[in-house]
Copies of this chain bind each other. A is one copy, B any other.
Amino acid sequence: MRLFSFFFTVGLSTSMALADPLPSWSESQSRDRIIDFVESVTDPDAATYVTPADRIAVFDNDGTLWGEQPVYFQLIYAVEAFQEMAEADPSLVASDALKAAAAGDYAALAQSGKAGLVEVLAATHSGLTVEAFQSSVANWLAQAKHPDTGMAYDQMTYQPMVELLRYLRDEDFQTYIVSGGGIHFMRVFAQEAYGIPPEKVIGTYTETSYSVIDGVPTLTKDPAIGFVDDKDGKPINIDRIIGKRPVFVGGNSDGDFAMLDWATAGEGPRFGLIVHHTDAEREVAYDCDSHIGRLCDGLEQGPEKGWLIVDMAKDWSRIYSGTK
């Protein structure tokens, strides 16, 4: 019995010593506010206690859980996938936007405007089965490298946020992604990168059609946009799919403002978090003037609404989950 008791004590104190849930967060007010909140809603004796069934946490993806510069990674996938397609069949290069994509010329692609982007996305995100699309994304992720960091894209997840997701789940939160990114795209890596399974990935989607081809029931991705999970679309989609108002909500751009505003306006304790990209040295510094992940309203109104503005440069001791 003594030996058992000895191991038990050692085991316990080791696990307690390891128990810092947010090791990549600097010792800061930000970190303390998060931990204080989580403790306050998980303490059954506290007036602020939230039952596990209602512990819903939602996070934007691009710029919140992983990088989004110089352009959304999903657009880089589309351009690189189209380059391969165009190499195999040059007749596909049938417009200025597609020409820009085939050349990997993002500046020229940007000049073709929203219509041009939609054209490149449609060319690469439709006309194939869901399974074929996801194989293509998986193959791309396995070899593609980010132009600035040289890292694999799914290594460019933010380690402090991965820890936050895990911490919340350890405290019986359900963690969801609610992103402008595509559902079929994100589901390829969300489980491994974030521990978030397909059924907890909410996002933008194209229409899908169902047909029985040679006796095989098949889901095919169509070019038409079905739903854009951005701005007002975020609270709408959360209500539609989750049916509960989240208790913890994180984003980084004004595309997340409505989701943050709606969630934190709910009764009882709520936590709103905005990742502010302040670290020009380790990542990219941007906010109100950025063409991607523009953050103005959130910076201006967030503090008075009680939202935590995370200062990446100061609050995070480490940025990426992966190494080069």
| A residues whose Cβ falls under 8 Å from a Cβ of B | 53, 56, 130, 174, 183-184, 187, 197-199, 201, 205, 208-210, 212, 216-217, 219, 226, 232, 235-236, 239-244, 258, 261-262, 265
Contacts and interface: CB of A to CB of B under 8 A. Distances in A.
A130 B266 CA distance: 13
- Which of A56, A226, A232, A243 has the largest count of B CB atoms less than 10 A from its CB? A243
B261 A208 contact: no
Contacts of A187: 243
Contacts of A265: 216-217
Contacts of A242: 198-199
B261 A212 contact: yes
B198 A261 contact: no
Contact of A258 (B56, B217, B236, B240): B217
A203 B184 CA distance: 20
B174 A243 contact: no
B258 A232 contact: no
A243 B208 contact: no
Contact of A210 (B130, B183, B235): B235
A201 B243 contact: yes
Given A236-B219, A265-B217, A244 B198 contact: yes
Contact of A243 (B183, B258, B261): B183
Contacts of A232: 209-210
Contacts of A240: 183, 205, 208, 226
Given A208-B240, A210-B235, A262 B219 contact: yes
B199 A239 contact: no
A219 to B, nearest CB: 5
A235 B217 contact: yes
A230 to B, nearest CB: 12
Contacts of A183: 240, 243
